[in-house]
Amino acid sequence: MRKVRKAVFPVAGLGTRFLPATKAIPKEMLTVVDRPVIQYVVDEAREAGIEHFIFVTGRNKAVIEDHFDIQFELYNTLAERGKDEQLERLRALQPVPGQTSFTRQQEPLGLGHAVWCARELVGDEPFALLLPDMIMHSQESCLKGMVDLYDKSGGNVVAVQECDPAEAHKYGIVAKGAEVGEGFEITAMVEKPAKGTAPSNLYINGRYILQPEIFAILENQERGAGGEIQLTDAMIRLGDSQKMFGFHYRGDTYDCGSPEGFVEANLAFALRRPELREVVENVMARLSGASRG
């Protein structure tokens, strides 16, 4: 079985829910505590053993490329000023030369189209796909759990989580079949089912391991919901000829594509930092008292 070595990060969306913040700054560069959102997602991929990081970018996204580059002047200045700790923190996150690739989507025609744009960089091998909007926290990374399942199951693996059944119409939903190791066979998949028709409350949370045959399907995929080329539509077609497995992720997920999820992520990650915990708790107690009074 072919190992999952590459990960694709589609970062070409317009981020309209964050305007005006995203007029000139990509939403993936908004910070959760002191790191851009994209850094959390790249770290998750690295923890899962990914060796090559592929970014599908768009206009105004060049700063993402800069973020993963070395900044000689900054590094030299930090070294001269004896700021070794900060320097070390930057170096630990630095991809090695040749480990990142960037391509442009040119037009934001949908997630499926963004993934298709990575076809030449991925080539003929399975790959991970991580939606940078979603950042996660758990003992073992979500993608690591998926890779472990994939090493036994092969095929395609999609991470799912439970949602409030009343919210199922907002997501891609899967139907659960026989259990397979830590996961299960997916028997059906539907993007944003009409209210009351979802086959379960297991929603696709933004992490995938896909076989390269998805590219040929995306190549002639018609536009779907919202006039966009939808990845889920192409995965449903891939499921006709290949196995699809669900990995039931049980950690925390924050949807940083929406202001509510982004604020929650900032609070949650700040509370996990020992040096910030007390101050954040005090601020929250004071502010929630003030908002009641």
Beta-carbon contacts of 180 under 8 Å, excluding residues fewer than 6 positions away, are 149, 152, 153, 245
Do residues 193 and 281 touch, judged by C-beta distance below 8 A? no
The DSSP code for 212 is: T
Of 37 and 50, nearer to ligand UTP (C-beta) is: 37
Q: How many residues at the interface with ligand UTP, by CB under 6 A?
A: 20
> Out of 36, 126, 132, 145, which residue is the one contacting ligand UTP (CB under 6 A)?
132
Nearest to ligand UTP by Cβ — which residue? 13
DSSP-derived secondary structure for 98-111: TSEEEEE-SS---H
Task: Report, in Å, the least distance between residue 104 CB and ligand UTP.
Answer: 10
Question: Which residue carries 């059906």 as its tokens?
Answer: 188
Task: Report, in Å, the least distance between residue 118 CB and ligand UTP.
Answer: 10
Binding status of residue 24 toward ligand UTP by CB under 6 A: no
Task: Report, in Å, the least distance between residue 40 CB and ligand UTP.
Answer: 13
Task: Report, in Å, the least distance between residue 114 CB and ligand UTP.
Answer: 3
Between the two ends of the chain, the Cα-to-Cα distance in Å is 61
Of 98 and 227, nearer to ligand UTP (C-beta) is: 227
Task: Report, in Å, the least distance between residue 274 CB and ligand UTP.
Answer: 31
Judged by CB under 6 A, the chain residues 235 through 274 that form the site for ligand UTP are 257
Of 213 and 228, nearer to ligand UTP (C-beta) is: 228
Single-letter residue type at 154? G
Binding status of residue 131 toward ligand UTP by CB under 6 A: yes
Which neighbouring-strand residues pair with 102? 55
How much of the chain is helix, strand and coil, in % rounded to 5? Answer: 40, 25, 35
Judged by CB under 6 A, the chain residues 98 through 127 that form the site for ligand UTP are 105, 108-111, 113-114
CA–CA separation, 173 vs 160, rounded Å? 8
Q: Which helix H or strand E contains 85, and what residues bound it?
A: helix 84-93
> Out of 29, 41, 45, 56, which residue is the one contacting ligand UTP (CB under 6 A)?
56
> Out of 133, 135, 189, 262, which residue is the one contacting ligand UTP (CB under 6 A)?
133
Of 60 and 138, nearer to ligand UTP (C-beta) is: 60
> Out of 7, 11, 42, 270, which residue is the one contacting ligand UTP (CB under 6 A)?
11
Of 44 and 133, nearer to ligand UTP (C-beta) is: 133
Do residues 201 and 160 touch, judged by C-beta distance below 8 A? no
Write the Ramachandran bin of 39: left for phi over 0, alpha for psi from -120 to 50, otherwise beta.
alpha
Of 78 and 218, nearer to ligand UTP (C-beta) is: 218
Of 112 and 126, nearer to ligand UTP (C-beta) is: 112
Angle value at C-alpha 141, between 266 and 185, nearest 5 degrees: 120
Of 149 and 265, nearer to ligand UTP (C-beta) is: 265
Cis peptide before 132 (omega within 30 of 0): no
Do residues 134 and 256 touch, judged by C-beta distance below 8 A? yes
Residue 28, token pair as written in the block: 């993936």
Per CB under 6 A, residues contacting ligand UTP are: 10-17, 56, 105, 108-111, 113-114, 131-133, 257
